[in-house]
Chain A
């Protein structure tokens, strides 16, 4: 990439940082230049987030309709996978799957609820009284 072709598009980096690019200068030698972002990459990131928001919406509906428990909602909302949630809570994957059903959720002790609440960074109250 030539130095003059370095993209300087608006992106999520704004107000945080800029991206280092290795570019060819006029003498054909490499040097670094800072870029505020590239629209092609931003579009990919936006697309990924649209998909996440969609999944969160589906999860919200699933909890409100009584198919899933709030654990499932926060699991999706916080972009977790089972390895992540198992790591934070110390519970087995099979148990977590049970806790993601309304039936399994009801049986959870206060102590276990507290662990989940801490993992998600919310209060036990918020977890128990899911408002969507």
Chain B
């Protein structure tokens, strides 16, 4: 099992620009579907039954976690990033949909494997409790989860999981209507960007664009707004399914990722104050329109394959 496979089976690729809402004073944009949803779908299609639990108070949550660790079960925990002491300070916002694995305890310290960190790390019980009960949007409420029953996973299961992931992703990126979601959503954002210079002024427009870049290149996304990760998935999928027609589509996704990176460079020119003209905003929007086309076409091709 690899990260791209898990991402693709869970239909991870997405684009959404939620209008009228803001996160930390910028546009609310996401390049992937909800991490909990990806995980749930992937587990379901691999016949992995999960045990999940949320808690009302910290003490119960800790007792439960300690018991599971004692039984030798590594436990997934949802945490808020703001209180994660080992995170770089600059990344510590009130973001609650982060997940880590607790795999042991030594004295008062929990042994932690955090996907964002290169090395395993530790948190004291006070620190972990605080992070498990962080507050705000999507507050974790001590949420823990671990596999309860793992069914038989053979090649057919994996093939089926890959196909169902792809088909769901076609709905997200290609079939979903409206200027908010999927490939057309990218165009929707592009059209907004054209107006930002006059509407928001250069300072705020710069912050908005910076926000898009930060979402796109968040740590652990593999770069290019998850597009490279999805391309890697398609590449693996081609191998598993013995389906070479997936390879040119993987290349399309790589192209989309590369274009996202160039759009980020263009946006950086604006928020660093080097580019200030309306045409610079238009250029950014044009790249995004191109991305929209490339991704639409890629998922259209995927839909045409009619994988079963």
A16 touches B86 (CB 8 A): yes
A41 touches B135 (CB 8 A): no
A72 to chain B, nearest CB (A): 16
CA distance A44 to B208 in the complex (A): 9
Interface of chain A residues 22 through 46 with chain B (CB within 8 A): 22-24, 29-30, 32, 34-35, 38-41, 43-45
Select one of A18, A24, A81, A83 contacting B118, CB under 8 A. Answer: A18
A17 touches B219 (CB 8 A): yes
Given contacts A41-B213, A45-B214, whether A22 and B222 have CB atoms under 8 Å apart is yes
Select one of A20, A32, A51 contacting B207, CB under 8 A. Answer: A51
Q: Which residues of A line the B interface, CB within 8 A?
A: 1, 12-13, 15-24, 29-30, 32, 34-35, 38-41, 43-45, 47-49, 51, 79-81, 83-88
Q: Which residue of A lies closest to B273 (CB)?
A: A47
B135 touches A88 (CB 8 A): yes
Given contacts A22-B228, A29-B235, A87-B135, whether A43 and B116 have CB atoms under 8 Å apart is no
Select one of B24, B82, B117, B136 contacting A48, CB under 8 A. Answer: B24
A44 touches B135 (CB 8 A): no
Stretch at the interface among B103-111, B192-200, B260-268: B260-268
A3 to chain B, nearest CB (A): 11
Stretch at the interface among B38-46, B87-95, B283-291: B87-95
- The 0/1 profile, CB within 8 Å of A marked 1, for residues 44-62 of chain B is 0000000000000000000
Select one of A21, A45, A83 contacting B223, CB under 8 A. Answer: A21
A21 touches B117 (CB 8 A): no
B214 touches A17 (CB 8 A): no
B136 touches A16 (CB 8 A): no
Given contacts A1-B223, A43-B271, whether A83 and B207 have CB atoms under 8 Å apart is no
Interface of chain B residues 238 through 280 with chain A (CB within 8 A): 254, 257-258, 261, 264-265, 267-268, 271-272
CA distance A117 to B214 in the complex (A): 32
CA distance A29 to B254 in the complex (A): 11
A19 touches B219 (CB 8 A): yes
A-B pairs with beta carbons under 8 Å apart, 29 shown: A1-B224, A12-B88, A12-B90, A12-B91, A13-B88, A15-B88, A16-B88, A16-B117, A17-B116, A17-B117, A17-B219, A21-B223, A21-B228, A22-B222, A22-B228, A22-B229, A30-B232, A30-B235, A35-B223, A40-B213, A44-B210, A44-B213, A47-B210, A48-B24, A48-B210, A51-B25, A83-B136, A84-B135, A87-B139
A16 to chain B, nearest CB (A): 5
Is B101 interfacial (CB 8 A cutoff)?
Answer: no
A44 touches B223 (CB 8 A): no
Given contacts A38-B217, A41-B213, A48-B210, whether A81 and B235 have CB atoms under 8 Å apart is no
B191 to chain A, nearest CB (A): 21
Which chain A residues border B229 with CB–CB below 8 Å? 22
Q: Which residue of B lies closest to A54 (CB)?
A: B203
A22 touches B118 (CB 8 A): no
CA distance A17 to B232 in the complex (A): 23
Which chain A residues border B88 with CB–CB below 8 Å? 12-13, 15-17
B258 touches A1 (CB 8 A): yes
CA distance A19 to B217 in the complex (A): 10
What are the nearest 4 A-B pairs in CB distance?
Answer: A87-B135, A44-B210, A30-B232, A84-B136
B257 touches A1 (CB 8 A): yes
A49 touches B90 (CB 8 A): yes
- The 0/1 profile, CB within 8 Å of A marked 1, for residues 112-127 of chain B is 0000111100000000
Which chain A residues border B301 with CB–CB below 8 Å? none
